[in-house]
Structure 1
Amino acid sequence: MQRETDFCVECREMSSYSLQKRCVTKNIRGENLTFEITCAVCDTCGGFMSAPGIIDLNVHEIDEQYRKLKGLVSIEDIHTLMELYNIGKAPLSIVLGFGEITITRYLLGQVPSKEYSNIIRNALSSPVYMEQKLLENKDRVALAAFKKSMKRVSELKNIFIISNKMIGVISYIFEKLDEVTPLMLQKLLYYIQGLSFVLNGREMFEENCEAWVHGPVYKDVYNIFKQFGFNVIDDPKFIMFEGYKKYLDDEDKYIIDLVVNTFGQYGGKTLEKTTHKENPWLIARNGYGDDIPSNELITKDSIKNYFIKICNEYDISKEEDIHKYILKLSDIV
Structure 2
Amino acid sequence: MNKDYLVRTIEMDCPLCNKIHAIEERKGTTQAIIKNEVVDYEQVYYCCALSDEEENDFVPGGIMDENLLRARNAYRVKKGLLTSDDIAKIRSFYGLTQSDFAALLGWGDVTVTRYESKFIQDETYDNIMRMVYNNPMFALGCLERHKERFNPEKYAKIRKSIKERVVELGNLYLKRQEIESLYVNFEEETDYNGYKVLDIEKLSNVIGYFAQFMDHLYKVKLMKLLWYTDTIFFGRYGKSMTGLVYKHKPLGALPIAYDEIIHLPTVKVVEDIINEDICYKICPNKEVSISEFTLKELSVLELVATKFKNHRSKEIVDYMHMEKAYKETQQNQIIPYTLAKRLRELK
TM-score, scaled relative to structure 2: 0.52
Distance 2:28 2:60 in 1: 13
2:119 to 88, 93, 111: 111
Distance 1:22 1:260 in 2: 18
Counterpart in the other structure of 2:217: 184
Distance 2:167 2:303 in 1: 36
Q: Residues 163-202 of structure 1 correspond to what in structure 2 (within 5 A)?
A: 163-164=179-180, 168=199, 171-172=202-203, 174-175=205-206, 178-181=209-212, 184=217, 186-188=219-221, 190-191=223-224, 192=227, 196-197=247-248
Q: Residues 225-244 of structure 1 correspond to what in structure 2 (within 5 A)?
A: 225-226=267-268, 231-235=283-287
User: Is it true that 1:100 corresponds to 2:109 in the alignment?
Assistant: yes
Counterpart in the other structure of 1:291: none
Question: Are the structure 2 counterparts of residues 171 and 194 from structure 1 closer, same or farther at C-alpha, using a change threshold of 3 Å?
Answer: closer
Q: Residues 1-333 of structure 1 correspond to what in structure 2 (within 5 A)?
A: 2=9, 6=13, 14=19, 36-41=43-48, 43-46=50-53, 54-71=60-77, 72-107=81-116, 109-115=117-123, 116-124=125-133, 126=134, 128=135, 130-141=136-147, 142-160=155-173, 161=175, 162-164=178-180, 168=199, 171-172=202-203, 174-175=205-206, 178-181=209-212, 184=217, 186-188=219-221, 190-191=223-224, 192=227, 196-197=247-248, 204-206=255-257, 218=259, 221-222=262-263, 225-226=267-268, 231-235=283-287, 265-267=307-309, 270-272=311-313, 274=315, 319-320=343-344
1:288-332 CA distance string (max 9 Å, x none): xxxxxxxxxxxxxxxx86x99xxxxxx999644999xxxxxxxxx
User: How high is the sequence identity, in percent, across the aligned residues?
Assistant: 13
SS at match of 1:100: coil
SS at match of 2:255: coil
Distance 2:284 2:209 in 1: 9
Corresponding letter in the other structure for 2:106? G
CA contact (8 A) 2:45 2:63 kept: yes
Corresponding letter in the other structure for 2:70? E
Larger-gyration structure (1/2): 1
Shift of 1:146: 2.0
Question: Are the structure 2 counterparts of residues 170 and 317 from structure 1 closer, same or farther at C-alpha, using a change threshold of 3 Å?
Answer: farther
Unaligned runs of 5+ in 1: 208-217, 243-257, 278-303, 309-314, 324-333
Shift of 1:263: 7.9
Question: Are the structure 2 counterparts of residues 97 and 259 from structure 1 closer, same or farther at C-alpha, using a change threshold of 3 Å?
Answer: same
Distance 1:321 1:8 in 2: 44
1:235-277 CA distance string (max 9 Å, x none): 479x99x9xxxxxxxxxxxxxxx9996688323x743454999
Counterpart in the other structure of 1:289: none
**Larger relative contact order (Cα-Cα within 8 Å, sequence gap ≥ 6):** 1
CA contact (8 A) 1:85 1:149 kept: yes
Unaligned runs of 5+ in 2: 1-5, 148-154, 184-197, 228-243, 271-280, 294-299, 319-329, 334-338
User: Higher helix share goes to which structure?
Assistant: 1
Which stretch has the larger CA shift, 96-105 or 30-39? 30-39
1:169-209 CA distance string (max 9 Å, x none): 7834734984435963622454459962269x9973145xx
Distance 2:246 2:70 in 1: 37
CA contact (8 A) 2:217 2:283 kept: no
Distance 1:321 1:93 in 2: 49
Q: CA RMSD in A?
A: 5.3
Shift of 1:58: 1.8
TM-score, scaled relative to structure 1: 0.53
Corresponding letter in the other structure for 1:150? K
SS at match of 2:51: coil
Question: Are the structure 2 counterparts of residues 111 and 135 from structure 1 closer, same or farther at C-alpha, using a change threshold of 3 Å?
Answer: same
Distance 2:68 2:343 in 1: 37
CA contact (8 A) 1:179 1:233 kept: no
Which stretch has the larger CA shift, 146-155 or 56-65? 146-155
Shift of 1:121: 3.7
Shift of 1:79: 2.8
Distance 1:49 1:148 in 2: 50
1:142-161 CA distance string (max 9 Å, x none): 24422321221331232231
Question: Are the structure 2 counterparts of residues 6 and 90 from structure 1 closer, same or farther at C-alpha, using a change threshold of 3 Å?
Answer: closer
Corresponding letter in the other structure for 2:211? V
User: Higher strand share goes to which structure?
Assistant: 2
Distance 2:262 2:201 in 1: 9
